[in-house]
Structure 1
């Protein structure tokens, strides 16, 4: 009996050690996947993202006097782990639609652009523009350094509890045209 007990104990320890290393491997693979899919190269590798990338290159988020650049992930992927994982799972549908041909050409992408943009705006409204506020928080703004209009609007937006996306929908990507009611019903 004692030998059997020792064998079980060794087996249990071996299983625990294997589970520990498997857990480390899983975390490493997850981290690698997140880091790989958060790069500008990955985000712009789809043919249809070329238009978005060209629009982005014309903004201050890409090139500015300070040299600080906001990448796709800075604006579209939360920093906190759980919201980041949820975002990655939801974003997989865009890759899926690229692969199955729903948005694989610029024309198809443009036809679906309003729907896709509306989803992103709704997400940003729900999160109080969490990703924007990583860099642009009201408490960090020096309103005295802003132009009169921006100073007035930012102060009013803060007082009203507005979120960035309420006013800045077309700040990086061109704001798509809302489809006509008869074409919107077809979606």
Structure 2
């Protein structure tokens, strides 16, 4: 009887270890940019990112998809985001043809929902310096960041609530004056 229960405990322990190692390996593999770009639907995002100010971090390293799109401060939120977004992306990939036309306007709010401010603040520590860190931000930017930090009222908006289209610029948003410089770099056509 004792040996039988020991075998059950050993088998359960081995199974749990295999599940944990498999899960960790799965999270690691699906967190790579090469995995994200293995789907044709994401290639337009890669092209946009390559031309944006967010193509590289301050040290010159390429920005990975998960650095922005997957919450990094909370394991439960990170796993929830990976499962939810991954399942939706997999469904679109599996049920659409090669020339899928993503409704970018419809997917933007969902994509932004999982973008934590901590991910932005990992690179942008000083909110009163410009993105190149070589000068102060505008007066409007200073007031907005004071509001965000609770120094000038209080804001419920996160970073992506104000900073839209900073790494990806959908066709429908390219006509806005604030996006003109970025839009002028984009020479490829989106599939519609």
The TM-score with structure 1 as length reference comes to 0.75
Other-structure match for 2:179: none
| Kept after mapping to 2: 8 A contact 1:61/1:68 | no
Other-structure match for 1:87: 81
| Kept after mapping to 2: 8 A contact 1:157/1:163 | yes
Alpha-carbon separation, structure 2, partners of 1:165 and 1:175:
15
Deviation at 1:148, TM superposition (A): 2.8
Larger of the two Rg values belongs to structure? 1
Other-structure match for 2:148: 157
Other-structure match for 2:120: 132
Cα deviation digits, residues 139-163 of structure 1 (max 9, x gap): x316254233433432233233231
Greater shift in the superposed pair: 47-56 or 71-80: 71-80
Deviation at 1:175, TM superposition (A): 4.3
| Kept after mapping to 2: 8 A contact 1:114/1:176 | no
Which structure carries more relative contact order (alpha carbon 8 Å, separation 6+)?
A: 2
> What secondary structure sits across from 1:143 in the alignment?
coil
Map 1:162-173 onto structure 2 (within 5 A).
162-173=157-168
The TM-score with structure 2 as length reference comes to 0.73
Alpha-carbon separation, structure 2, partners of 1:157 and 1:142:
10
> What secondary structure sits across from 1:86 in the alignment?
helix
Cα deviation digits, residues 87-109 of structure 1 (max 9, x gap): 1211211111111117x425x12
> What secondary structure sits across from 2:119 in the alignment?
helix
Deviation at 1:176, TM superposition (A): 5.5
Alpha-carbon separation, structure 1, partners of 2:114 and 2:76:
15
Deviation at 1:78, TM superposition (A): 1.6
